[in-house]
Every structure is written in C-alpha cells, then in structure tokens.
Amino acid sequence: MGLSRREFLKRTAALTAASYVGINLPFKNENTSQASDADSWHKGTCRLCGSGCRLELGVKNGKAVALRGIPDSRTNYGYLCMKGMLFYKLMGYNNPDRLKKPLYRKSKKEPFKEISWNEALNIAAKEFAKAVKKHGNNSVAYYGSGQALTEETYIFQKVFRGGLRTNNVEGNPRLCMASAVGGYLTSFGADEPIGSYTNFERASCFFIIGSNMAEAHPVLFRRVMRRKLDNRETVKVINADPRVSPTSRIADLHLQFRPGTDLALLNAMAYVIVKEKLYDETFLKNYATFRMGKKKEVSFEKYKEFLKDYTPEKVSDICGGNITPEKIRTAALWFAKSEGTMSIWTMGINQRKRGVWANNLIHNLHILTGQLCRPGADSFSLTGQPNACGGVREGGGLCHILPGHRLVKKDKLRHQVEKLWGIPQGRIPPKPGYHTIAMFEAVNQGKIKAIWINCTSPAQSLPNCDKYRKGMSREDVFMVVTDIFPTKTTELANLILPTAFHFEKTGVYGCTERRSQLTVKAVDAPGEAKPEVWIVREWALKLAKELKDPVIKKCVEPFLGKEPDYELPKAIWDEYTQKLTKGRDNDLRGATYDVLKKLPDGVQWPAPTKEWALKGGTDIKFVRGLDPLADKHAKDQKPYQFYGPAHPDKKLWVWLRPQRGPEEMPDFEYPFYLSTGRVIDQWHTSSMTGRIPELMRANPYAYVEINPKDAKKLGIKPGDMVEVASRRGKNILPAKVYVGPCEGMVFVYWYDQEESRMINRVTKDAFDPGSKEPEFKICACKIRKVSGPKPLKPFLVEMKT
C-alpha cells in the first residue's frame, strides 16, 4: 500500500536533509505509487544575499510550491537559510503587494494613476530627451543595483554610455563593496578574491573582522562553523569587531576594539609578524614590493620603520575595548603560523572613511606571511548582494568602469568598447560620471534633471538620507523607478514601472567567489510586470526617435525581435561574454547559457573556453596549472603569476597605511559612537523581507542596542523608548540592553521603513576619498530615554493610487 501524501512529503524532506550529511535512513521513496511533489524543478540562485546559494524551485500547475537546496552546489551544498526558504512568497501572485501596472504622476504632489506601457515608455523617453536637449548629456543618470541581473546592468549602462553619452551610471554596490574593489586593485592588481569558498574546508585559521556572517551570510557561516567543530583543537577562529555578535559564538579569540581603530590593530598584527620574523621571506622576495603614498616604492626597511608606531603596547591603548598586547600577539601568531589562514570581512571594513586602507592592511598580513594561493589561505571579502560582483563590478555598473574591468579614463579601453559595440569612436565620454554621493548631490543641486533608479531604494539606503530626499522630491527632477514593491523611493517617483522578480525572468548572478550562475524563468510575473531587459530595449527605441539619434538604436539593435523571457537575456549575455570579456581577466567566454545550465552551480572566471567552464572554471586565480590565464601570462617559471591589470610590475603591494579615525569622533555634545547593520531575516531596506509576514513578525521593528553599563548610567531599561540623535537627524527606537556593542557605542538595524526608526536619517555621508564608499559604520550621536516601553507597529510603504 502506498504512503499518504503527507507521509510521502515528510519522507522526501527527511531523505533530502539526510543526504547532505551522509546519514542513511532506513527507507527510500523510490517505487512508491505517489505522484511526485512537483511537476517540474527549476534550478536557480537565491536572491537574498551575496552567497549565491543554489536551489530548485518546485512548480506545480504553474505555481511555485516547493523549494529545495542543490546538494552538488559548491556554494551551499544544498543548505538554505530562512530568508531563502520563504522567498517564493514574493513570486507571481503569491504576494498581494506586488506592483502590477505602470503608474504615473506629472507632479510629485499628485496621486499616481495607472497608465499603459506604451504611454509609460513614451513619457520616460520624452522626459530623458527633454533633459538632454535642454541641459546636456550629463543631466541624466542611471542608479542601479547589485540585485539586478548582469544582463540588466549591462544593457542599462550600454544605452546610457553609448546612447545617451554619459558615464552617470552608478549603483548601490558603491555603498557596500567599493572599498573592497579599491583594496583588491591596489594590493593585488586585480579585482575580486583570489580564492574561493572551497577554502572554508581547508583553512586552519579564520580571521573574521567587521563581519557578522552568522546573521548576514548564515549558510557560509555554517561551513566555517562545521570546519571549526570538526577540528576543534587544530582550527582557530579570531573574531575582531567592536560588537559581540552571533558570529563571535565560535571564536577562540574575540578582539573587541573601539570603532575606528581597526587600522592600528591590523598594523600591530603586522608589527608582531615582522618583529617575530613570522613573515615568508621567499614569498616576499618573489612576489611583493612595498608602497606608500600614491604608489611610491619603498624598502622593507622603511616598512619596518613605519611599523614602530604600532607596537602591541601602543596599539592596545589606541584600540581600548578588551584589546591587550597579549591578544594582539596571539592573533598575529595564529594568523602567521597556521597552515592556511582565511580572512573574511564585509561592511565593517568597507564602510569606513579609510575603507580601502583597511582592506590594504588585511591584504598586507596575507602578503607578509605568504597566506595566499595555497589551500585554505585567502584574503576574502564577502559581498552583500547577489550580483554586486557579477553585474556591477564586472558588467560596468559604476561611473568609472566599463564592462570587463575596463577603466573609463583609459582611452584604449574605452575605444575597445566603442568598437565592440559598433558605435563611433568618441561616443563614450572620457570622464567618469558622478559617484553615488556626488550623483545625489547633483540631484540636490538640480544638475541632474532625469534619473532612472532600478531595483534599489536610495531614499532609505543613502547615509544622511533626508539631505538627499530633498533633491529627489524636487519637481524639476524627473524620476523613474523600476521595482517589484512600493518603497521609500517609489514615494518620490514620477513614474513607477513594475518589473518581473527572480524566477519570473531569466539571467545571471555572479556571487562573491567569481562564480556566475543562471536562473531561468519558471513562473509568470503578476499583472503587467515586465523584465527590465524588455523595458530598456523598448525605451531606447523611443528615445532614439525623440533625440533623432540612430546610435541609440544601434545600442539595442542586436537584441531586436528577441522574445524577452529567454532569447533576449541570452543575446545580451552572449554579447557581453563573447565580445566584452574576451581577453580580460574576467574572461567568461566559456560560460554560455548552455554550459551554465549543465552545471549545478555555474562557472568561476577566468573561464575562456567551454571545456574549462564545464569543469567549473577557476578555483584559485594566479596559480599556474589551476588558472589558465596564469599559464597564458606567465613571464617566468614561478608557480604564481600575478598578472592583474593594475600593477605594471606584476607584484603584490604591501602598503604603508597609517591609523586614521572616523570622520566624526564622539565629543562632549555627541558622546556615543553610532554603528548600523543587519539582523537575521531582514535584508537591506526590508522592501522584500518585510513583505514576507513570517520574516516581518520575527523582527517587526528596529531596535537600538545599548551596552548594559551605558544603559545603567543613563537609566535605560529594556524596551524603553530612546532618542538617538546626531548633527543630522534623530530616531526614536526601543532599547535592547545587551552585551553586544562595546561601552560608548550603540548599534541600530537599518531595515525599518518607519520614519522615526529609519537610522539613515541619523548616519553621516562622509566617504572614502579613494573608493567613494560612505562611512555608514561610524558617526557620533547622543542618546536619551524618552519614555517607558510603548506598543509599536511594523511599517511598510503602501501604494496609494
């Protein structure tokens, strides 16, 4: 007799889980008479962080009904987190809040009215054309997202640069990983990590700094945790952070330093490594030079001299917190002596006034000790969004870079792109456009007259956001927003265009480890929502007519007549990979849609041929025999070849970078450090996770975390309403009294859309002079109790038509 359907599904669930850890269960589900649990299974990538977890969506009668991880996938080995488990609730008609029709209003004071796609695209074309004719090409801008598919970012930037002749092409990755890009380019000569997630299972020492990966990247954290628990005596975990977080639970050593003293701490570890002769002399001799200032080469002796200001004794005083000279020595010793050390960081390092320098100083430790290119040894920046690396860093989604890691300002590279696109030489302007903060400053000043914001919510995610919301509210700034839900940014738009969500369209995401993965459409988008690639193509055709400019049409000509669900994105991917990545360090020519579909988890670049791509691509860059480009570019017999485009000497650079504090230090009037971050189950501006009731209920509103010692001094009890005020704005939030932040520091989650709990009204918009990434992580604030606990409600923007 057959099992009941419930029993069948439960057994399927148990067998799937057991297969991940190699546990044998005493039953099988084969040969049962039951119908399968879904009509079809569709491979894709989770959309709700930068890990790139692979999963299959089960579709029955055209509806998404089940999710399962893909056990063969080298990103997640089948595991998913709660966000990943529930994101089907945003698909198709599963969510009543989805945007389903184009909406327009001439004035931002009016309510929105539903209009047709034809009308909507006509309006968008006329407004952009009007701005160009009256105010010039740099009066228009695109602001995109690390969540857009590569095909989307690529076609948007192509139309803006080649068609509208502006490099005002930016995206929210400027807010999260620009400092990591700057760090990789200046230290290693090439963007993106050298190694891969495979190092999680090979490392003997983890140095986790400025990352709460247990909450922000839970599936990857699981791998680190498993490695530690399976090798408790031999694997060491160091967690360096001003805040004790769930990530600290597995740490052997927690370095709790005062915010903004990270550069000193890293230099002190280097001091110990040099002083105790823990460095790898041969590695340094073969592969490294020392640099200071812009890029002046200096000697090892000069570096030693520089480090004298960073003895553990001096630095423990600078760092405060729980830092002692002994802890610094222990950390340096474990780092240098382990068989493979892997550093892991995210926004705690990147979102700093000197984020690039902080990145350099982590890389320094790896170069000094030779902890690179061998199993378990890597300097690895985790990315926050699913396609910040693939779409934006590689696809040309920032104002200074063109597709294939080309700099706008290099004439030769710019002309290469013009030639590959078949447009006249000189069409792309030689000057980079506005970076994010400068772009929204230009909106404030009325220099930008028409802006297209795609798949992101700068009205909430920019630091000191009230300042920039003023510009976005201007009546003389025409704003188009493409998104799936109402957000704080759609509230300021003239035109809202509803888009298809993940699994409702086709395209590629490139995750943290240089891995490109394809998701093919599996369910229909609700209402009239459309894929962005279709929207841009149709808009460009209308724009070409308005401006009487055939070159705009030329930009989308290769894509005319293609159906939008598969053929169109495929044609865009083919152009990008076959033409634009050819001969570049992110060569993806082997990673065609057909190849990507064959693999459980996609391809890591460089992957210049299909044969190489079918093997999964390149696990570790720069190693001869493992990286085809290392063999191709080899200039000698050494095993490592650092062929990155940014370093003419083909060496790794150890940087002399001094300690620098934050832009704004606590003082008498504003005595606390304010830092912001994430909480598990909510993501970024909660525009998606907030629409999933289970996730919203788990974290219905933001808190301010206060150290118990500070709370006692100020008479604040758990749940009390507390005002957090800076020179820019204030919030009133319930207090969480908790040994998380160190004394003198408070921490607020930034997802909440409710005005009085939106912490970016308080944060500071200072930015790194190199990467232009804002210093979200540190500013000065004051706190006071306003009242006892009050009942609070969760809040999400509603669409009023």
Partner 1 sequence: MPIGGFIVNVHPDHLENSIRDLKKISGLEVYGSDEKGNVVVVLEADSSKAMEEMVEKIMKIENVLSVGLTYFNVEDEIEIQEEQGKKTIH
- Interface with partner 1 by CB under 8 A: which residues? 6, 9-10, 12-18, 20-25, 37-38, 58, 60, 63-69, 78-82, 84-86, 88-89, 92-101, 103, 114, 218-219, 221-222, 225-226, 229-230, 249-250, 498, 526-527, 693-695, 697-698, 799, 801
Question: Among residues 84 and 183, whose Cβ is nearest to partner 1?
Answer: 84
Question: Among residues 6 and 294, whose Cβ is nearest to partner 1?
Answer: 6
One-letter-per-residue 3-state SS of 600-657: CCCEECCCCCHHHHHCCECCCCCECCCCHHHHHCCCCCCCECCCCCCCCCCCEEEECC
Report which of 461, 500, 456 is spatially closest to residue 479, judged by C-alpha positions. 456
C-alpha distances out from residue 669 to 134, 320, 708, 745, 783, Å? 47, 21, 21, 15, 10
Smallest gap from Cβ 800 to partner 1, in A, equals 10
Are 537 and 569 a contacting pair, CB within 8 Å? no
Which residues touch 611 (CB under 8 Å, ≥6 apart)?
Answer: 590
Question: Among residues 173 and 498, whose Cβ is nearest to partner 1?
Answer: 498
Q: In this structure, what DSSP letter does residue 97 have? A: T
Smallest gap from Cβ 219 to partner 1, in A, equals 7
What b/e readout covers 548-578, taking b as 16+ CB neighbours within 10 angstroms? ebebbebbbbebeebebbeebbbbbbebbbe
Question: Among residues 64 and 724, whose Cβ is nearest to partner 1?
Answer: 64
Question: Among residues 34 and 289, whose Cβ is nearest to partner 1?
Answer: 34
Smallest gap from Cβ 623 to partner 1, in A, equals 31
Smallest gap from Cβ 222 to partner 1, in A, equals 5
Concatenating the DSSP letter of every residue in 222-281 gives HHHHHHHHHTTTT-EEEEE-SB--GGGGG-SEEE-PPTT-HHHHHHHHHHHHHHTT-S-H
What b/e readout covers 294-317, taking b as 16+ CB neighbours within 10 angstroms? eeeebebeebeebbeebbbebbbe
Which residues touch 674 (CB under 8 Å, ≥6 apart)?
Answer: 724, 726, 745, 746, 747, 748, 759, 762, 763, 778, 779, 780, 781
Alpha-carbon span 738 to 751, nearest angstrom: 20
Question: Among residues 220 and 307, whose Cβ is nearest to partner 1?
Answer: 220
Tokens 């507390």 correspond to what residue?
722
Which residues touch 223 (CB under 8 Å, ≥6 apart)?
Answer: 77, 197, 200, 201
Are 209 and 240 a contacting pair, CB within 8 Å? yes
Question: Among residues 278 and 799, whose Cβ is nearest to partner 1?
Answer: 799
Smallest gap from Cβ 642 to partner 1, in A, equals 37
Question: Among residues 197 and 468, whose Cβ is nearest to partner 1?
Answer: 197
Smallest gap from Cβ 232 to partner 1, in A, equals 9
Question: Among residues 9 and 541, whose Cβ is nearest to partner 1?
Answer: 9
Question: Among residues 221 and 767, whose Cβ is nearest to partner 1?
Answer: 221
Smallest gap from Cβ 95 to partner 1, in A, equals 6
Question: Among residues 84 and 355, whose Cβ is nearest to partner 1?
Answer: 84
Smallest gap from Cβ 356 to partner 1, in A, equals 33
Alpha-carbon span 408 to 393, nearest angstrom: 13
Smallest gap from Cβ 454 to partner 1, in A, equals 19
Smallest gap from Cβ 704 to partner 1, in A, equals 22
Report which of 246, 217, 218, 245 is spatially closest to residue 50, judged by C-alpha positions. 217
Are 631 and 608 a contacting pair, CB within 8 Å? no
Smallest gap from Cβ 271 to partner 1, in A, equals 35
Tokens of 447: 């220099």
Residue type, 572: I
Question: Among residues 37 and 754, whose Cβ is nearest to partner 1?
Answer: 37
Report which of 552, 715, 692 is spatially closest to residue 90, judged by C-alpha positions. 692
HSE of 46 in the Cβ direction (CA atoms, 13 Å)?
A: 29
Burial class (CB in 10 A: 0-12, 13-18, 19+), 432: middle
Concatenating the DSSP letter of every residue in 573-603 gives HHIIIIIISTTSTT--TT--HHHHHHSSS-E
Question: Among residues 18 and 739, whose Cβ is nearest to partner 1?
Answer: 18
Question: Among residues 25 and 560, whose Cβ is nearest to partner 1?
Answer: 25
Q: How many CB atoms sit inside 10 A of residue 687's CB?
A: 27
Are 310 and 268 a contacting pair, CB within 8 Å? yes
Q: Where on the phi/psi map is residue 797: left (φ > 0), alpha (ψ -120 to 50), or beta? A: beta
Question: Among residues 526 and 662, whose Cβ is nearest to partner 1?
Answer: 526
Smallest gap from Cβ 3 to partner 1, in A, equals 13
Smallest gap from Cβ 19 to partner 1, in A, equals 8
Smallest gap from Cβ 660 to partner 1, in A, equals 37
Smallest gap from Cβ 100 to partner 1, in A, equals 5
Question: Among residues 94 and 473, whose Cβ is nearest to partner 1?
Answer: 94
Smallest gap from Cβ 67 to partner 1, in A, equals 5
Q: How many CB atoms sit inside 10 A of residue 22's CB?
A: 6
Alpha-carbon span 699 to 175, nearest angstrom: 24
